[in-house]
Amino acid sequence: MSKPKPKILFFHGSGTNADIFRLQARKLHALLEPHFDLRYLSASVPCAPGPGVLPFFEGCDPYLTWLDDSTAAAERAFWAGGEEIPRLAREARRLGGVVALVGFSQGAKVAMEVARRLETGEGEGEGEGEGEGSSSPSPSPIKMVLSVCGTAPFHGGFVGGGKAGEHVVDPEREVLYRESLKRGVVKAASVHWIAARDPWKAESDKLVGFFDEGTRTVIQARGAHHMPLDDKANEQLAKLVMEAVTR
């Protein structure tokens, strides 16, 4: 019997779903599939189609989002006591052999928080038949996180993220963004694909700060808010993933 491949979890952007993301990430998928078991997770909150989803993905509903980040209060409820992040961390532990996370747009900040909780052991044992405080946190298997056009918790402290000219600091979001950052950075290696024409670029820049400075790689790329389409760009990302998980 052949040895199971290590797993990579993919987190889609808001207003899409796992099936749509598989198509959006098809070039990267094709390069990674020979070496990894690729799993695409779906959010659980219905929403309207995301930017650029229609008309190409007409009829590919349900369109889903990981969280309501329309207001600072709504997003605070997600990070503080929501069930989605604990559910995803439990799923990663249940699957076993997960070595990397790939997140696009809103999915990138979710992947960041899943990686952070796996590293800290926060919530470990909940719903898994283990007693509270029964053991020390298990070492995180996550070796790297790939963020593509990622957005940041609480819009990175900005208001009206995504609209040209509206990257204005919002006092409430800024406080909550900084509180989130103080919870600690992800130690695993990370790669950040930041697109020059992405309306959410300012958030992508802020998300970088949630990852350890010594293990992160930032790629300032051309393009807009979408998965890389160029073959060489995807080859570069696939190579970086391979290098990170084989160290």
Q: Which domains does the chain have, with CATH numbers?
A: 7-126+146-197+204-245 (3.40.50.1820)
3-state helix, strand, coil in the chain (%, to 5): 40, 20, 45
Band (95; pLDDT cuts 50, 70, 90): very high
What six digits make up the tokens of 36? 């990894």
pLDDT at 160: 64
Rounded-to-integer distance, Cα 181 and Cα 3, Å? 38
Mean pLDDT computed over 203-218: 97
Least confident of 116-130, 176-190, 205-219: 116-130
pLDDT at 140: 80
Least confident of 2-16, 30-44, 90-104, 153-167: 153-167
Name 4's Cβ contacts closer than 8 Å, sequence gap at least 6. Answer: 37, 97
**What tens digit of pLDDT does each residue of 142-190 get?**
999 999 999 999 999 998 655 555 678 999 999 999 999 999 999 999 9
Rounded-to-integer distance, Cα 67 and Cα 75, Å? 7
The rounded percent of the chain whose pLDDT value lies above 70 is 90
Least confident of 102-111, 128-137, 181-190, 218-227: 128-137
Question: What are residue 219's DSSP bridge partners?
Answer: 193
